[in-house]
Structure 1
Amino acid sequence: MLVSLLQFLAPDSIPKLADHWPTIVASTVFWYALHIAAEPFSRRMFPKAFNRLSPRHQEQWCIRTVSFFHACVATALSIPLINHPVLADDPLHGYWWPAGQVFAISLGYFIYDVSHCAYNVKQEGFGFLLHGAVAVIASLLSYKPLYNLYAPTVLVTEISTPFLNIHWFLDKMNMTGSTLQLANGAMLLITFFGARILFSYYWSAKLYIFAYQLSDQVDMLTRVLPALLLLTLNALNFFWFFKIVNAIVKRFKPPTHPTKSQ
């Protein structure tokens, strides 16, 4: 199975990848450069908050800065591609060069992201590493090309990421439990549930049905791999949604006052 997967993702089996290598490389370099620039910028703009953080949390600050900007870019560029007629004309092998460029920008980010998750796996957890790896593989499928109609719907779920990162930044700026964090927390829950649960599950179901209908036309890996990737992302999103709810509830839960006897 592993050998088949490696052959399936070998460079010579991804013909459209060569058309987007410059953008993928430039994007990867850009996100690394932004990570490097985030430290001196943050020291100057947020000296009280950033300078008192531990080296580990300073690194996290820079990672989340990059994540914030990528999410804004990916969302803005992906929304116009949803149900785009060029891609919808052939849901299996549809390809459009401008869409490939959008996917290349995000692929560069996912390469950056998965490298940091691998390096900091003890702190970040295996879930984030798995998410990054799945995102890289899913991006590569766009250049076979396969299922490009559904690729923008995955990137659009990044709409919740800026609110997630702002929530973290507010904690580190001693604004935990503030009105601003409450408003941001509400937006985080709305966008996460709306995009990563409702919207994502709807489009995943459409892909599952479409892949099932192809059972007599394509090989099993072509049908099963995208479904497994989406299933993994959806499971992680479901798990993270309840962790986010629990974290927000803890921040805004009224403190309990001890009784006189206590």
Structure 2
Amino acid sequence: MGFAFSFGSSYDFATPTKEVQWLGSVFTGIIFCVIVYRLTAILSSVLFTGYGKLSNAQKIEWNNRGFSTFHALFASFTSFYLLILSDIFSKDAQEELIVNRSSTFSNSVLGISIGYFLTDLTMILWHFPALGGMEYVLHHGLSMFSIIQALLSGQAQIYILMVLFSESTTPFVNLRWHLDIAGLKGSNLYIWNGVALFFGWLIARIILFMFFFIHMWTHFDEVKEVYPLGFYSLLAVPPVLTMMNVFWFWKIAKGLVKTISKAKHSK
């Protein structure tokens, strides 16, 4: 009972249907990743003649980025719906504190995302460092740590969904890698994708995080009602992710300037 209380009154360990739903959504996320990984390999071998010429390591990353893109689209669309289109987090929709609001759908979204991060992290560690270095391990570890807390407690889901929306930049990152591997680094599509990535990152991972901190500050009286571990995680994890986002944004900006400069000189 003490453990249940520490996670907030919204969580009830005696409710097996919730546990089944959460575990089911995590398992669903894992299954989707496996299916999309296989489908990416099949479709790529049929639609892209250069796929067969890739090395085994490149094929693994190519397919891995397939389910990464799938999750990014899923997470960004569902987060946008829950935050903007639904009334779960509307100011006057409920009397309950905004940090305590959740729904069956939001729980399912978080569970599926845990399944994705768990699958991707497993692949990263198994093939380390081919699919990403320690920065990816840190990013995925912090993401799962935060999402699991929000799922179990039912608290601070509004902030977790804001961060999940930042996954909307991932398809541009993956497309840039695919174009590079396909030998299309000098194409107009590569340049325009770089421009979209720059502005997408600026909006979803810089400006949105600024709004994130402003929202926390203006609702700090509610944020303080989050159970202790969740409260301190809200104070510690987002700043770390922000520093990583700023560092990657700097690299994206440098890459875009370099690509545009090369394109101008080649004309």
**Shorter-normalised TM range:** 0.7 to 0.9
- Among 89, 92, 107, the alignment partner of 2:99 is 92
1:186 maps onto 2:195 in alignment: yes
Aligned to 1:176: 185
Normalised by the length of structure 1, the TM-score is 0.84
- Among 133, 136, 142, the alignment partner of 1:125 is 133
1:32 maps onto 2:34 in alignment: yes
Partner Cα separation in structure 1 for residue 31 and residue 248 of structure 2:
29
Between 153-162 and 219-228, report the one with greater CA deviation. Answer: 219-228
How far did residue 170 of structure 1 move?
A: 0.9
Aligned to 1:134: 142
Normalised by the length of structure 2, the TM-score is 0.82
Q: Is the 8 A contact 2:29 2:116 kept in 1?
A: yes
Aligned to 1:260: none
Between 36-45 and 203-212, report the one with greater CA deviation. Answer: 203-212
Q: Is the 8 A contact 1:87 1:148 kept in 2?
A: no
Write out per-residue CA displacement over residues 112-170 of structure 1, whole angstroms, 9 at most, x where no aligned residue: 11112222332311001111111111211222112012222111111111111111111
Aligned to 2:47: 45
Q: Is the 8 A contact 2:76 2:164 kept in 1?
A: yes
Aligned to 2:253: 245
**Local SS of the residue matching 1:109:** helix
Unaligned runs of at least 5 residues, structure 1: 258-262
**CA 1:13–1:228 in structure 2 vs 1: closer, same or farther (change >3 Å)?**
farther
Partner Cα separation in structure 2 for residue 251 and residue 242 of structure 1:
14
Q: Is the 8 A contact 2:78 2:109 kept in 1?
A: yes
Q: Is the 8 A contact 2:186 2:263 kept in 1?
A: no
**Local SS of the residue matching 1:33:** helix
**CA 1:14–1:119 in structure 2 vs 1: closer, same or farther (change >3 Å)?**
farther
How far did residue 256 of structure 1 move?
A: 11
Q: Is the 8 A contact 1:197 1:237 kept in 2?
A: yes
Partner Cα separation in structure 1 for residue 226 and residue 164 of structure 2:
25
Matched to 1:130, the amino acid is L
Matched to 1:165, the amino acid is N
**CA 1:12–1:133 in structure 2 vs 1: closer, same or farther (change >3 Å)?**
farther
How far did residue 103 of structure 1 move?
A: 1.7
Aligned to 1:78: 79
Partner Cα separation in structure 1 for residue 58 and residue 213 of structure 2:
35
Matched to 2:39, the amino acid is A
Q: Map 1:139-178; keep pairs closer than 5 Å.
A: 139-143=147-151, 144-178=153-187
Partner Cα separation in structure 2 for residue 14 and residue 184 of structure 1:
49
Matched to 2:68, the amino acid is S
Partner Cα separation in structure 1 for residue 220 and residue 127 of structure 2:
36
**CA 1:109–1:66 in structure 2 vs 1: closer, same or farther (change >3 Å)?**
same
Matched to 2:233, the amino acid is L
Aligned to 1:68: 69
Matched to 2:87, the amino acid is P
How far did residue 178 of structure 1 move?
A: 1.2
Matched to 1:168, the amino acid is W
Partner Cα separation in structure 2 for residue 202 and residue 237 of structure 1:
14
Q: Is the 8 A contact 2:169 2:204 kept in 1?
A: yes
Matched to 1:40, the amino acid is I
Q: Give aligned-pair identity as a percent.
A: 24
How many aligned residue pairs are there?
Answer: 248
How far did residue 200 of structure 1 move?
A: 2.0
